[in-house]
């Protein structure tokens, strides 16, 4: 192997978690050209970063930039190092400079280095709350098939994680399918934990509570002994999503989380909100060393009992870009169904009342008939529903019509059900979401 090939292999070992093998390759032979020397030191910084030695990693990256001049990947890795050290002002102050460099380079060439730096930049944009810009970068990276598969996979993971944070089921599903297909093939070109983490976060939106609890239980038994750090990462992210959705974790899962000592202020805040509701107030949040977006998420979590936090949240949303405003306002709408059941009241004039809003279904007869069929039952056979809707027998055509109607109803109500399906069609029957309760108001009566 020549020196350039040896550095390439050493970098691949870092991505695969084979850190000592990477370090051994760096010690073999000399690197005389400035570009190769820079890359050697850069890889040493990555090794330190992978070992969670962020102080050493940042020192190496800063020294490299000073000695060899600006380089897009070095710059991106340095800002990630600042982020991991919780030096939030340092990476925030340099983020727009990194983004500007990316945009300028884009007009010349989009190659592997650009994509790698763009993914890192996207993560920092997320942490600053600029979600739409982050998603645009991730999706551009994913579209470029000429780059190495490992970076397409990483872009796919980041897209899925970003949409999962906002419970955007329609956006999640196509990327979820792509990633699960790659995982099923055993095509693990990056750490399996990253893939599994992204899939789990997506399933928080796509699965019912019962199904999700089964998945989490299996995950805990798989990771409990050999990969406790990975398990902590998974569980605290699950806790965050539950708090954003105003839902409680199962007691057995919460017990496992409390066995782990929080790594930083944000994890400590999440645990406090869940264990001692109402105890974390705005003043506490403002004193935490967290990223800008983490602070905003905490405002959202405590806004129900802290009016000043609610005011700060609304002001922050108004100050965001138009695209980001839509993302945040859609999230607020999806999460209006707080802890407990989602009560859906169907009035005689075809108006549907839920989560303090009214939805007009008067001109959608089949959807009205479909939802009213569950006012006294949590499960109906496909035969009964096909009779109610069209007075037909069960056949492949009526089954397809029923499936289309269920999908239409789920789509109409998705923003009120935090991304979950209101009705689930499987094995000849249709079940109502366990969190939903449907009542019908009869004409001329207040009874339900």
Residue 251 lies in a domain: no
Which pairs from 287-295 meet CB under 8 Å and 24+ separation? 289/86, 289/88, 289/264, 289/265, 290/88, 290/264, 290/265, 290/266, 291/83, 291/88, 291/127, 291/128, 291/266, 292/88, 292/92, 292/127, 292/128, 292/129, 293/126, 293/127, 293/128, 293/129, 294/127, 294/266
pLDDT value at residue 110: 65
- Rounded to an integer, the average pLDDT of 321-348 is 75
Is 224 inside any structural domain? no
Average pLDDT over residues 306-335: 87
What is the reported pLDDT for 337?
47
**pLDDT at residue 339, as a whole number:** 44
Instruction: Band the pLDDT of 312: cuts 50, 70, 90.
Output: very high
At 353, is the pLDDT very low, low, confident or very high (cuts 50, 70, 90)? confident
- Averaged over 278-302, what is the pLDDT? 93
pLDDT at residue 294 tops 90: yes
| In a domain? residue 92 | no
Contacts of 267 (CB under 8 A, 6+ apart): 236
What percent of the chain has pLDDT above 90? 40
Number of neighbours of residue 213 by Cβ within 10 angstroms: 15
What pLDDT was estimated at residue 186?
57
Q: In the numeric block, which tokens belong to residue 340?
A: 């407990």
Least confident stretch, 144-153, 195-204, 257-266? 144-153
What is the average per-residue pLDDT within 284-305?
A: 92
Domain count, the chain: 1
CATH code for the domain of 365? 1.10.10.10
Q: How far apart are CA 47 and CA 29, in angstroms?
A: 19
Pairing of strands 342-346, 436-440: parallel
Share the mean pLDDT of the chain.
85
Give the mean pLDDT of 129-142: 92
pLDDT exceeds cutoff 60 at 372: yes
Q: Give strand pairing partners of 357.
A: 354
The C-alpha angle 41, 52, 261, rounded to 5 degrees, equals: 175
| pLDDT above 70: residue 272 | yes
Please determine, for residue 446, whether its predicted confidence score (pLDDT) is greater than 50: no
Pairing assessment for the beta strands 429-432 and 379-381 based on DSSP bridges:
antiparallel
Write down the pLDDT at residue 108. 57
Give the pLDDT confidence score for residue 59 in this predicted structure.
96
Q: Decide if 5 is inside a domain.
A: no
Q: At residue 415, does pLDDT exceed 70?
A: no
On the question of pLDDT at 187 being above 60, the answer is: no
Host H or E run for residue 430: strand 429-432
**Please, are residues 233 and 263 in contact by the beta-carbon 8 Å criterion?**
no
Assess if residue 233 is contained within a domain.
no
Rounded mean pLDDT, 23-32: 86
Beta-carbon-side half-sphere exposure of residue 233 (alpha carbons within 13 Å): 11
Q: Is the pLDDT of residue 334 over 90?
A: no
CB atoms within 10 A of CB 73: 17
Put the strands of the sheet holding 357-360 in their side by side order. 357-360, 351-354, 342-346, 436-440
Residue 412 lies in a domain: yes
Q: Name the H helices within 320-429.
A: 322-334, 365-372, 382-390, 396-413
pLDDT level of residue 443 (50, 70, 90 thresholds): low
Residue 212 parent element (H or E): helix 209-223
* Furthest-apart CA atoms within the chain: distance in Å: 89
Residue 72 has pLDDT above 50, yes or no: yes
Please give the average per-residue pLDDT across 202-220, as a whole number: 82
Tokens for 76? 């991106």
The answer as to whether 34 is a domain residue is no
pLDDT beyond 60 at 447: no
Decide if 198 contacts 169 (C-beta within 8 A).
Answer: no
Whether the per-residue pLDDT at 340 is higher than 60: the answer is: no
Closest to 60 measured CA to CA, from 41, 38, 33, 34: 41
**Domain carrying residue 388:** 342-440
Which of 209, 210, 261, 211 lies closest to 235, judged by CA? 261
Tell me, yes or no, whether 346 lies in a domain.
yes
- Residues, the chain: 448
Average pLDDT value for residue range 95-117: 82
147-151, 232-236, 271-275, 332-336: the lowest-pLDDT one: 332-336
**Lowest mean per-residue pLDDT among 165-169, 231-235, 237-241, 325-329:** 165-169
Question: What sign results for the dihedral spanned by CA atoms 384, 386, 387, 392?
Answer: negative
Instruction: Give per-residue pLDDT as tens, 223-267.
Output: 777 788 888 888 999 899 888 877 767 777 888 888 888 989 999
Average pLDDT rounded to a whole number, residues 155-176: 88
């Amino acid at each position: 192997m020549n020196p350039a090939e040896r550095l390439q292999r050493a970098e691949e070992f870092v991505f695969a978690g084979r850190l000592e093998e990477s370090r051994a390759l760096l010690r073999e032979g000399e690197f005389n050209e400035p570009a190769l020397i820079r890359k050697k030191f850069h890889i040493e910084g990555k090794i330190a970063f992978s070992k969670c030695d962020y102080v050493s990693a940042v020192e190496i990256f800063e020294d490299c930039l000073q000695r060899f001049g600006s380089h897009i990947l070095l710059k991106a890795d340095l800002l990630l190092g600042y982020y991991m050290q919780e030096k939030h002002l340092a990476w925030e102050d340099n983020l727009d400079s990194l983004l500007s460099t990316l945009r300028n380079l884009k007009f010349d060439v989009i190659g592997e280095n650009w994509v790698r730096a763009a993914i890192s930049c996207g993560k920092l944009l997320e942490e600053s709350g600029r979600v739409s810009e982050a998603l645009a970068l991730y999706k551009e990276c994913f579209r470029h098939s000429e780059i190495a598969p490992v970076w397409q996979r990483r872009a796919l993971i980041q897209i899925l994680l970003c949409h999962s944070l906002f419970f955007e089921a329609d956006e999640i599903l196509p990327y979820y399918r792509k990633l699960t297909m790659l995982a099923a093939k055993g095509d693990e070109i990056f750490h399996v934990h990253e893939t599994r983490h992204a899939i789990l976060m997506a399933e928080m939106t796509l699965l019912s509570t019962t199904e999700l609890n089964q998945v989490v239980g299996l995950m805990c038994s798989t990771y409990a002994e050999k990969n406790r750090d990975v398990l902590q990462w998974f569980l605290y992210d699950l806790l965050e999503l539950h708090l954003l959705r105003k839902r409680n974790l199962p007691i057995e899962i919460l017990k496992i989380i409390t066995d782990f000592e929080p790594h930083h202020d944000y994890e400590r805040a999440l645990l406090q909100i869940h264990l001692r509701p109402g105890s974390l107030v705005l003043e506490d949040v403002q004193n935490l060393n967290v990223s800008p977006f983490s602070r905003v998420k905490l405002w959202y979590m405590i806004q129900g009992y802290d009016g000043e936090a609610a005011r700060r949240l609304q002001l922050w949303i108004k100050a965001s870009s138009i695209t980001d405003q839509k993302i945040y306002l859609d999230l607020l709408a999806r999460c209006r169904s707080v802890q407990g059941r989602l009560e859906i009241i169907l009035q005689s004039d075809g108006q549907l009342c839920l989560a303090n809003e009214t939805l007009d279904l008067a001109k959608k007869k089949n959807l009205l008939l479909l939802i009213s069929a569950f006012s006294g039952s949590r499960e109906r056979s496909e035969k009964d529903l096909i009779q109610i809707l069209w007075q037909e027998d069960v056949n492949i055509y009526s089954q397809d019509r029923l499936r289309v109607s269920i999908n239409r109803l789920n789509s109409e109500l998705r923003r009120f059900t935090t991304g979950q399906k209101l009705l689930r069609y499987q094995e000849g029957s249709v079940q109502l979401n366990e969190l939903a309760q449907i009542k019908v108001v009869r004409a001329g009566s207040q009874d339900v």
